[in-house]
């Protein structure tokens, strides 16, 4: 069996399942964020007083923190009251960071766990060997009451990655390449499994980039086999009590794709679709107004380290606003300790509080009419960050940082690496 088939068989107590089977599952954890306010409304409409198991709920406020208007403030208040009344212990208020990063740092993403979350990028936890999938608010409310929901067993795509990245080329360029190749619906309700020596040599942070943005190809879940890198990351946080699940060697996949990153170039997703991917050289020179480095895709320590390496002792272009969003308080503090924040601020960057920030256009970095933003986030739909005629380009932290210096989309290979 594939990973998806195998873990769903284990979780339902069946010897074997196959693609297309409809199963009733009970998740190990159910995650939600600011949208918990809407989930609570539906939960109350169902009319059941008690939550099935409050220990299984993980609620993390991150989308608009601190609250930017009265509506968000009211929603946050409702969530805090619900958490208090229902005695939900796994609650993380506005000072913690983005749900997907906070969820992992606090030990909820364990190998072999089944996790459902009211956010499409719940696929991120597959970097730890979880079956993790995004679901809707109504489905989440039903799980609050019963602890269960139906899942269809997805077919699986195997992606084998070999080779070594060139300097400053990263997992973000790789996942943009994959999404550009297969399309935004190329893995619709499918499981993506990543294999190969390139994956084995990746940090947990880079692996999370791949599983996070698998959602942009429509994937139901994504998966990377747990190994020593995974176990070491978990052990440092005192996280134990898990049983990894691995695909069988004779598993049958719907599709097998092969990639070699030796010659991978810097890539960029152009407006207004994540699969509108081009080589950086094809769009070099486009003027930009704002650069965002952060979010649940690229707001981790290694991303800020790359930006700091590029920006050290330099100043960003006068025409550019450069915003940094740490994915969590832990990352913010570590960046402070290492002197990274100082470097970013001295370059002209603005350090925002840990959270989703500009990514969803709710506050902190909303775009005006006609403005162009270069972002390390995961979506560039029309109007995603504000005005309907603004433009969003998605790229790696290295491309974002270099472009902030020039004020236009820039290929770092020709303008910066030769100077190193």
- Token pair, residue 66, equals 């601190």
For the cut 80, the answer to whether the pLDDT of residue 48 exceeds it is no
Strands 91-92 and 149-152 turn out to be unpaired
What is the C-alpha separation between 378 and 186, in angstroms, rounded? 16
Strands 190-195 and 221-224 turn out to be parallel
Is residue 194 within 8 A of residue 210, CB to CB? The reply is yes
Q: Is the dihedral of CA 65, 70, 74, 75 positive or negative?
A: negative
pLDDT at 111: 98
Q: What angle do CA 412, 414, 419 make, to 5 degrees?
A: 85
Residue 412: in which H helix or E strand, if any? helix 412-415
What is the C-alpha separation between 141 and 262, in angstroms, rounded? 46
User: Rounded to the nearest 10 degrees, how much is the dihedral formed by the CA atoms of 285, 288, 293, 294?
Assistant: -120
Is residue 37 within 8 A of residue 66, CB to CB? The reply is no
- Residue range 323-348: mean pLDDT, rounded: 98
pLDDT at 130: 98
For the structural domain made of 269-419, what CATH number should be given?
3.30.499.10
Is residue 29 within 8 A of residue 108, CB to CB? The reply is yes
Is residue 116 within 8 A of residue 143, CB to CB? The reply is yes
- Residue-wise DSSP of 284-333: TT-B-SEEEEEHHHH-SHHHHHHHHHHHTT----TT-EEEEE-SBHHHHH
Residue 165, preceding peptide bond in cis (omega within 30° of 0): no
Is residue 157 within 8 A of residue 126, CB to CB? The reply is no
- Residue range 291-311: mean pLDDT, rounded: 97
SS3 call for 128: helix
What is the C-alpha separation between 62 and 31, in angstroms, rounded? 12
Which residues, 6 or more positions from 314, have their beta carbon under 8 angstroms from its beta carbon? 347, 405
According to DSSP, the residues that pair with 69 across neighbouring strands are none
* pLDDT tens digits, one per residue of 225-277: 999 999 999 999 999 899 999 999 999 999 999 999 999 999 999 999 999 99
| For helices 204-213 and 228-236, angle between their N-to-C axes, nearest 10 degrees | 110
- Residue range 342-357: mean pLDDT, rounded: 97
- Number of Cβ within 10 Å of residue 331's Cβ equals 25
- Token pair, residue 304, equals 């800020």
3-241+251-259 and 269-419: same fold? yes
* pLDDT tens digits, one per residue of 111-145: 999 999 999 999 999 999 999 999 999 999 999 99
Task: pLDDT band for 419, please (50, 70, 90 cuts).
Answer: low
Task: pLDDT band for 49, please (50, 70, 90 cuts).
Answer: confident
Residue 373: in which H helix or E strand, if any? strand 372-375
pLDDT at 66: 96
Is residue 173 within 8 A of residue 213, CB to CB? The reply is no
What is the C-alpha separation between 118 and 34, in angstroms, rounded? 10
**Mean pLDDT taken over the chain:** 96
The CA R_g of the chain, rounded to the nearest whole Å, is 21
Domain coordinates in residue numbering, the chain: 3-241+251-259, 269-419
Task: pLDDT band for 414, please (50, 70, 90 cuts).
Answer: confident
Label residues 108-147 b or e (16+ Cβ within 10 Å = b): bbbbbbbbbbbbbbbbbbbbbbbbbbbbebebbbbbbbee
pLDDT at 231: 98
* pLDDT tens digits, one per residue of 50-88: 999 999 999 999 999 999 999 999 999 999 999 999 999
What is the C-alpha separation between 287 and 410, in angstroms, rounded? 10
CA distance from start to end of the chain: 48
What is the C-alpha separation between 324 and 311, in angstroms, rounded? 13
In the chain, % of residues over pLDDT 70: 99
Is residue 159 within 8 A of residue 194, CB to CB? The reply is yes
What is the C-alpha separation between 374 and 397, in angstroms, rounded? 10
For the cut 90, the answer to whether the pLDDT of residue 305 exceeds it is yes
CATH architecture group of domain 3-241+251-259: 2-Layer Sandwich (3.30)
* pLDDT tens digits, one per residue of 161-181: 999 999 999 999 999 999 999
For the cut 90, the answer to whether the pLDDT of residue 98 exceeds it is yes
């Amino acid at each position: 069996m594939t990973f998806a088939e195998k873990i769903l068989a284990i979780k339902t107590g069946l010897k074997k399942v196959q693609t297309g089977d409809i199963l009733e599952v009970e998740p190990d954890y159910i995650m939600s964020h600011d949208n918990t306010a809407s989930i609570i409304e539906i939960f109350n409409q169902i009319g059941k007083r008690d939550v099935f198991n409050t220990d299984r709920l993980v609620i993390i406020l991150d989308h608009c923190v601190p609250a930017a208007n009265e509506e968000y403030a009211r929603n946050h208040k409702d969530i805090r009251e619900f958490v208090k009344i229902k005695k939900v212990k796994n609650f993380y208020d506005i000072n913690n960071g983005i749900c997907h990063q906070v969820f992992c740092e606090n030990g909820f993403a364990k190998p072999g766990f089944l996790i459902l979350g009211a956010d499409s990028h719940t696929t991120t936890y597959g970097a730890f060997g979880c079956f993790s999938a995004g679901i809707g608010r109504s489905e989440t409310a039903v799980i609050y009451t019963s602890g269960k929901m139906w899942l269809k067993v997805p077919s699986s795509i195997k992606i084998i990655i070999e080779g070594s990245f060139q300097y400053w080329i990263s997992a973000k360029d790789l996942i943009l390449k994959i999404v550009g190749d297969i399309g935004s619906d190329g893995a619709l309700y499918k499981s993506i499994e990543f294999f190969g020596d390139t994956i084995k040599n990746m940090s947990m942070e880079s692996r999370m980039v791949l599983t996070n943005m698998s959602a942009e190809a429509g994937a139901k879940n994504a998966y990377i086999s747990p190994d020593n890198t995974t176990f070491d990351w978990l052990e440092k946080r005192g996280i134990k009590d898990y049983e990894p699940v691995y695909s069988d060697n004779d598993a049958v996949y719907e599709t097998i794709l092969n990639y070699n990153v030796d010659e991978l170039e810097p890539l960029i997703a152009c407006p207004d679709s994540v699969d509108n991917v081009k080589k950086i050289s094809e769009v070099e020179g486009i003027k930009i107004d704002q650069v965002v480095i952060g979010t649940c895709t690229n707001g981790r320590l290694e991303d800020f380290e790359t930006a700091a390496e590029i920006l050290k002792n330099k100043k960003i272009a006068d025409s550019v606003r450069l915003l940094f969003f740490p994915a969590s308080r832990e990352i913010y503090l570590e960046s402070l300790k290492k002197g990274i924040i100082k470097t970013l601020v001295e370059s002209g960057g603005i350090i925002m509080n840990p959270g989703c920030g500009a990514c969803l256009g709710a506050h902190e970095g909303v775009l005006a009419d006609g403005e162009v933003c270069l972002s390390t986030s995961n979506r560039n739909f029309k109007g995603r960050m504000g005005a309907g005629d603004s433009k969003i380009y998605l790229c790696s932290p290295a491309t974002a940082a270099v472009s902030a210096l020039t004020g236009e989309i820039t290929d770092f290979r020709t303008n910066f690496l030769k100077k190193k």
